[in-house]
Amino acid sequence: MNWKENWNQSGQTPLSDQERAFDLLYHEKALMSNVTSDLLEVSPVGMRQVMQDCFGQISADQLEIFNVMQQKGWYPTKPAQDQDVQMAKQKYGQMRGTL
pLDDT tens digits, one per residue of 13-65: 688 999 999 999 999 999 999 999 998 899 899 999 999 999 999 999 999 99
Residue 71 has a pLDDT of 95
Cβ proximity of 7 and 21 under 8 Å: yes
Least confident residue range of 9-13, 48-52, 84-88, 90-94: 9-13
Closest CA to 28 of 64, 77, 73: 64
CA distance linking residue 66 with residue 22, whole number of Å: 9
Work out the pLDDT band at 8, boundaries 50, 70, 90.
low
CA distance linking residue 75 with residue 26, whole number of Å: 13
Q: What number is the average pLDDT over the span 61-87? A: 94
Q: What is the pTM of this model?
A: 0.70
Work out the pLDDT band at 10, boundaries 50, 70, 90.
low
